[in-house]
Chains A and B, each alone.
Chain A
Amino acid sequence: MNKPIRTISIFCLLLFVALMINATWLQYWKADSYDKDGRNRRVIEAAYSRERGAILVAGKPVAESEPSDDQYDFLRTYPEPFKYSHVTGYFSFYDQTGIERSQNDVLSGDDDVLFVNKLVDLLSNKSGKGGNVQLTLDRDAQDAAYAALGELPVDPESGVVQASVVAIEPSTGRILAMASLPTFDPNKLASHDFNSVKTDYDRLQADPNEPLLNRAIQTTLPPGSTFKLVTAAAAIESGKYDADSEVPGGTTYQLPQTSGSSGEIDNEGRSCGTDKIPFSQAMENSCNTTFAQLGVELGGGALQDMAEKFGFNDDHYLDDIGPQATSKFPQDPTDPEAGQSAIGQFEVRASPLQMAMVAAGIANQGMVMKPYIVDSIQSPELETLRQTEPEEYNQAISAETADQVTQLMVDTVNNGTASPGAIAGIQVAGKTGTAQSGLPDVPPYAWFVSFAPAQDPEVAVAVVIQKAGIERGEIAGGTYGGPIAKAVMEAVIK
């Protein structure tokens, strides 16, 4: 019987070899794909339990991991919730947003930039702490932006304000302030009490006012009259006009190929002359008739080119935080569409960040800088591992043109509709906007974009008030947006 016993031995050997090969396949070669499966709670829990790095603003944490003595070792806390919520995002057991998401590799310690730290941790058998992320935000500017937004009257119907502010340093593209209302408390979502997290998350998701939305980058609205900056830039860049030129005026303007009131553009009572008026008057009084005619004259293609140079139709220029809504300028508009687009209506849509980039580009001699919000990556010991260098995005207009548009914007603050943005002793360049929502029950959106000081700009701001307790008649003229922009600019310049 020994021969079959030997055969059986070989058979058993094969069984055991198969088991060992399969175990190796599972635990070595396939391990990575199992670890990456979204349903693998082990990996998520490990990440959740780990000591994440901090998110810093001017060296002080706005998100940090604190030791916790419940089922997880660390609890993510946000010392200044609401104000920084949309930038930091939240770090919950279920998902992450904002910087918590985009910089997850650094914060969790997995990024290759932290390789040496990981190695040291491995050798010293410590559980690794993640790297820190230092933001470009300016504490004073952010405080001012959040405080100013908070002073807006509440919309009586929904009980909230929907508005946002973003401020950029024109010469670098550093984002100095980014605030959005309504906001939320990320501490509640980071809690270890998962039932309450779920309840709070469901409530935030179901809220029609979308508190989780970072309106500064994730909402696009018709930019209205603030888009006239782009139209003016295109007009001057074309060589046909400069800041001292006469431009077409008039109380009403019938768009080409249209008839009746739907194709008729007026100025809502602002003084825009009859035939030819100075360019400065057209900008100061935000003359729709002027800019519509300029748009038709320049043509849709020229407007589109100019808009795209500032960042319209580009779905990605902000790497650090997302998702980012794409600002849109319609493709190849016809003449009447170009006329409407020239005053920021029709299908033109812009995010507050986009309009801040327009202002910043004009402020920075026509050079638009790529916006960024991560200043540097630091090791857990606060040693800088990677510093973000400013990057040029596009030379949108010539320095000459930029000067001319700046001149028009200064006039608008000094003598025109943008006067609420004026700061005593400092020359401000600005432009208001009132955009028709195009929806019957939705009041117009109030915009304000500006930069200061006009000759040596330190900050460019865009403010949008999507919904607040403001009478329709008061929305125009920067009455509410202007002071917000002013507060932020003052905070930066001091």
Chain B
Amino acid sequence: MAQAGFVMGFVHRRRRGAELFLLVLALAVGIGAYAAVGVGVEGEVPPDIVGYGAGLTALAIAAHVVVRIVAPYADPVLLPVVTALNGLGLAVIHRLDLVYADNPLKPHGLPHKQLTWMTLGVVLFVVTLVLLRDHRVLTRFTYTSGLAAIVLLLLPLVPGIGDTINGAKIWISVGPFSFQPGEVAKVLLVVAFAGYLVLHRDALALAGRRVAGLDLPRGRDLGPILVMWLVSLGILVFQRDLGSSLLFFGLFLVMLYVATERPGWLVVGGLLFLGGAAVSYQFLTHVQNRVNIWLDPMKYFDQTPGSGQLVESLFGMAWGGLIGRGFGGGSPERVPFAESDFIIGAIGEELGLTGVIAVILCYGLIVERALRAALICRDGFGKLMATGLAAVFALQVFVVIGGVTRLIPLTGLTTPFLSYGGSSLIANWVIAALLLRISDQARRPVPDLSSSEDDDHADEQATQIVKLGSAP
């Protein structure tokens, strides 16, 4: 085994120092952005910059120290990128909050709440890393998490706790808290899919017939994909949530393809998606509205439901141009929900194309590091989970940024780590923790089994223990 490790190349270094250095840069982004908001909007560096900076630094350093102790081989890039995005998001939300202050119709106290959510997110990040020493433990919860995900997805439909916000029934309200269960469900679904697929991948992969050069799956194996398709359609029809529907189905397809290595599944899934999209376009007015607005947003500018929000955001991004108006120089408050779904519009307006590209590259980096962890991971479950988390992240970023920039029809989803919203932020910190855990496992040197041979001389009579470590 050890020899295999040498043959395969090298032992990964821990790179915790690199992580710390990158974290300092990430904190500079977050705290610098906060200072820039103060200078741009109020004309002075915010007086609480020291306290704020210290708080942000404390959170980041705490996360770093925990990673250093419990996941020393984890990927060194993920935590800094996530911290930078979260810090930038906080600054933009703070900037919006400053203009919202004069407007009784807008929400107030957002940055404080978001900082609380971030703290909670980091706590859960730490808890996940500490409790979950090996991601394979999660295979035990395959069906539990699948069931929990479905229950969470159904909760918003339950009278009394379900809440319709902005036309989508994706919220639940318990007391003063409102909560988007879909965000948590997506993590649970990745776990459930990975556990299910790693067990059934052979059946799904090997049986089938070949049609026109493609290996198509057997009819009886279509069950899971059809169930997932129906669940996605159900979310679309009953919760009117185009984004989540697309996200869950896309996630499932990607994981199915990776597990089975059969592009045939992509064809089947793609056809199901197109069919579902065509039918829902025919029968669901909210889908039609979204598509019409996408095709010609200017036409629906003054209508309800109309494209005012999208067009204002497009105007803002165009106004921002290459380098942006600078914090305080634009009017992102013209866009309803600039702090959540449309935060990329606010960034485009005030930080320009430069800021938008930087944010997209940060997301790209997260996805790339996650897929890299999947590639070097030694167990199928870990590979699937990392791929799933990467895919859900990439799809969500694509759907929401693509929607806001009119690449695809707009669907409501949060922008990970940037958008205001507790459920999303916490779920994404947990995703970050899971990715760190998987990469830690993947990069950790293979246990040196040859050492037992050295011990042979010390105790030749000892019962020989044959290690049955699974081959990579």
| A8-B371, A39-B311, A43-B319 known; A19-B348 Cβ under 8 A | no
| A26-B406, A27-B352, A31-B318 known; A19-B397 Cβ under 8 A | yes
Contact of A1 among B258, B318, B330, B397 (CB under 8 A): B258
Q: Is B398 an interface residue (CB 8 A)?
A: yes
Q: Is A42 an interface residue (CB 8 A)?
A: yes
On chain B, which size bracket covers the interface? Answer: 35 or more
Closest to B298 in A: A37
Closest to A15 in B: B398
A26 near B371: Cβ-Cβ < 8 Å: no
| A5-B383, A12-B391, A34-B314 known; A19-B319 Cβ under 8 A | no
Q: Is A119 an interface residue (CB 8 A)?
A: no
Q: Is A60 an interface residue (CB 8 A)?
A: no
Which of A4, A9, A43 gathers the greatest number of chain B CB atoms within 10 Å? A4
CB distance from B379 to the nearest CB of A (A): 10
CB distance from A57 to the nearest CB of B (A): 35
Q: Is B32 an interface residue (CB 8 A)?
A: no
CB distance from A1 to the nearest CB of B (A): 5
B380 near A9: Cβ-Cβ < 8 Å: no
Contact of A18 among B374, B390, B402 (CB under 8 A): B402
Closest to B402 in A: A19
A27 near B402: Cβ-Cβ < 8 Å: no
**A18 CA / B408 CA spacing, docked (Å):** 11
Q: Is B221 an interface residue (CB 8 A)?
A: no
Question: Which residues of A28-85 have CB atoms within 8 Å of chain B's CB atoms?
Answer: 28, 30-35, 37, 39-43, 45
A9 near B406: Cβ-Cβ < 8 Å: no
A35 near B360: Cβ-Cβ < 8 Å: no
Q: Is the interface of A mostly helix, strand, loop or mixed?
A: helix
Question: Which residues on B sit within 8 Å (CB–CB) of A4?
Answer: 257-258, 261
A12 near B367: Cβ-Cβ < 8 Å: yes
Question: Which residues on A sit within 8 Å (CB–CB) of B387?
Answer: 1, 5, 8
**A42 CA / B314 CA spacing, docked (Å):** 11
**A45 CA / B349 CA spacing, docked (Å):** 15
Which of A6, A18, A19, A37 gathers the greatest number of chain B CB atoms within 10 Å? A19
A28 near B261: Cβ-Cβ < 8 Å: no
**A22 CA / B318 CA spacing, docked (Å):** 12
Q: Is the interface of B mostly helix, strand, loop or mixed?
A: helix
Question: Which residues of B290-333 have CB atoms within 8 Å of chain A's CB atoms?
Answer: 298, 301, 311, 314-322, 330-331
Q: Is A3 an interface residue (CB 8 A)?
A: yes
Closest to B367 in A: A12
Q: Is B218 an interface residue (CB 8 A)?
A: no
Question: Which residues on B sit within 8 Å (CB–CB) of A5?
Answer: 258, 371, 374-375, 383, 387
Q: Is B74 an interface residue (CB 8 A)?
A: no
Q: Is A23 an interface residue (CB 8 A)?
A: yes
**A15 CA / B250 CA spacing, docked (Å):** 13
Q: Is A317 an interface residue (CB 8 A)?
A: no
**A6 CA / B384 CA spacing, docked (Å):** 13
Q: Is A195 an interface residue (CB 8 A)?
A: no
Q: Is B364 an interface residue (CB 8 A)?
A: yes
Question: Which residues on A sit within 8 Å (CB–CB) of B319?
Answer: 31, 34-35, 40, 42-43
| A12-B391, A23-B353, A31-B321 known; A18-B314 Cβ under 8 A | no
**A23 CA / B404 CA spacing, docked (Å):** 10
**A15 CA / B353 CA spacing, docked (Å):** 17
Which of A3, A6, A7, A42 gathers the greatest number of chain B CB atoms within 10 Å? A42
Question: Which residues of B253-290 have CB atoms within 8 Å of chain A's CB atoms?
Answer: 254, 257-259, 261
CB distance from B105 to the nearest CB of A (A): 16
CB distance from B392 to the nearest CB of A (A): 11
- Could you tell me which A residues sit within 8 Å of B by CB distance? 1-9, 12-13, 15-16, 18-20, 22-24, 26-28, 30-35, 37, 39-43, 45
Give 3 closest A-B pairs by Cβ, nearest first: A34-B318, A31-B318, A27-B353
Interface pairs (15), CB distance under 8 Å: A5-B371, A16-B367, A16-B397, A23-B356, A26-B348, A26-B405, A27-B317, A27-B356, A28-B322, A35-B319, A37-B298, A37-B315, A39-B311, A42-B315, A43-B319
